[in-house]
């Protein structure tokens, strides 16, 4: 039994797509979440830059005495996972390997699509991880950075959101896939728009579920789950203005209780 919180981070509100699965599956765990709105978007930054930002956030989360860190950001996972695992004295997990595993667990996965930020796509993070697990899969990768801002600025459900999704995913009409990995934690919030465009025959994979399963297994193995019977606290921090994060949490974690505060975390 370990009552310390789980630390979670993202460049913005996308990480809430992982937090919502955590709240469903591990409701007794306390969570401290940092949305690095002050340095958003990560997808247009260099790998070195994102690695430093993630490390600084990891160190900040340690001041909350976290027992584990989840990098709820694909871009930061691609840029920093081994560094954080080496530098921080707690277990750290990312979303990419769980996302790849979830896609390959689908019954038809000969052709897998991946949508992600510019940075994750350029790093080839998903094709590399998928091919390590199964070299025979055809992976079609597409950077879809404009979709990130649509979610971050709380424009999901608008006509603009559908237009941006249609434009960014047009390639999958020419090159059809059976499974599409939502390789940016902002994208699960656009699932409806994505299915509107691609149709329900394309299975969408949100890496959050497999990530949370991995976290739960690790905590269980080390007897570190929180066995409290009350709901865990949810504490959100924004490195910029709180408004976007509060609005995002009210929408995507509807009905959940949370507090939100500003925190300054340096960029270098
Ligand atoms: N949500 C992030 C990800 O999963 C990054 C979005 C961004 O800041 O560009 O990659």
Tens-digit pLDDT profile for residues 53-81: 999 999 999 999 999 999 999 999 999 99
Say what the pLDDT of residue 197 is: 98
How far is ligand 1, taken at its centre, from the CA of residue 118, in Å?
9
Say what the pLDDT of residue 266 is: 84
CA distance 24 to 12: 21
CA distance 183 to 142: 10
Residue from 20, 186, 211, 239 whose mutation best tests the ligand 1 pocket (most atoms within 8 A of CB): 186
Spans in the chain with pLDDT lower than 70: none
Q: Considering just the CA atoms, what is the radius of gyration of the chain in Å?
A: 17
10 lines ligand 1 (CB under 6 A): yes
The residue from 70, 76, 139, 184 that is catalytic is 184
The answer to whether the pTM exceeds 0.85 is: yes
**51 carries an active-site annotation:** no
Say what the pLDDT of residue 267 is: 81
DSSP code per residue over 111-139 = EEEEEE-HHHHHHTHHHHHHHHH-TT-EE
β-bridge partners, 139: 112
216 three-class SS: helix
Closest CA to 84 of 27, 23, 8: 8
**260 carries an active-site annotation:** no
Q: How many beta carbons lie within 10 A of that of residue 228, not counting itself?
A: 13
Closest CA to 168 of 125, 114, 204: 114
H or E stretch at 261: strand 259-262
120 lines ligand 1 (CB under 6 A): yes
How far is ligand 1, taken at its centre, from the CA of residue 110, in Å?
26
How far is ligand 1, taken at its centre, from the CA of residue 206, in Å?
14
How far is ligand 1, taken at its centre, from the CA of residue 13, in Å?
9
Residue from 34, 50, 117 whose mutation best tests the ligand 1 pocket (most atoms within 8 A of CB): 117
How far is ligand 1, taken at its centre, from the CA of residue 76, in Å?
8
Determine which residue's CA is closest to atom 9 belonging to ligand 1. 43
Closest CA to 130 of 104, 157, 156, 159: 104
Closest CA to 23 of 235, 182, 191, 198: 235
DSSP code per residue over 6-64 = EEEEESSGGGHHHHHHHHHH-TTS-EEEEE-GGG--GGGS-HHHHHHHHHHHHHHHHTT
Helices 96-104 & 125-133, crossing angle to 10 degrees?
Answer: 50
Closest CA to 130 of 148, 105, 94, 161: 105
Instruction: Give Cα 127 to chain centroid, integer Å.
Output: 17
Say what the pLDDT of residue 61 is: 98
Residue from 77, 184, 206 whose mutation best tests the ligand 1 pocket (most atoms within 8 A of CB): 184
């Amino acid at each position: 039994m370990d009552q310390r919180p789980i630390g979670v981070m993202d460049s913005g509100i996308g990480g809430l797509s992982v937090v919502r699965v955590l709240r469903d599956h591990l409701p007794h765990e306390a969570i401290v979440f940092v949305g690095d709105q002050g340095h958003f978007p990560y997808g247009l930054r260099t790998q070195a830059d994102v690695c430093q930002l993630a490390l600084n956030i990891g160190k900040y989360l340690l001041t909350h005495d976290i027992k584990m860190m989840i990098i709820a950001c694909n871009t930061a996972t691609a840029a920093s996972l081994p560094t954080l695992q080496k530098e921080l004295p707690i277990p750290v997990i990312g979303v990419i390997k769980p996302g790849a595993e979830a896609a390959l667990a689908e019954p038809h996965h000969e052709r897998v699509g991946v949508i992600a930020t510019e940075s994750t796509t350029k790093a080839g993070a998903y094709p590399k991880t998928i091919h390590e697990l199964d070299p025979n899969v055809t992976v079609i990768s597409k950077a879809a950075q404009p979709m990130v801002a649509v979610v971050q600025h709380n424009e999901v459900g608008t006509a603009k959101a559908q237009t941006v999704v249609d434009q960014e995913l047009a390639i999958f009409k020419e090159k059809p896939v059976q499974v599409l990995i939502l390789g940016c934690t902002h994208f699960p919030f656009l699932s409806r728009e994505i299915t509107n465009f691609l149709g329900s025959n394309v299975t969408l994979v949100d890496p959050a579920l497999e990530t949370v399963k991995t976290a739960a297994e690790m905590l269980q193995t080390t007897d570190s789950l929180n066995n409290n019977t009350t709901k865990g606290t949810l504490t959100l921090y924004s490195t910029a203005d709180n408004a976007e994060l509060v609005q995002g949490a009210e929408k995507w974690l509807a009905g959940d209780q949370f507090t939100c505060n500003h925190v300054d975390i340096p960029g270098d």
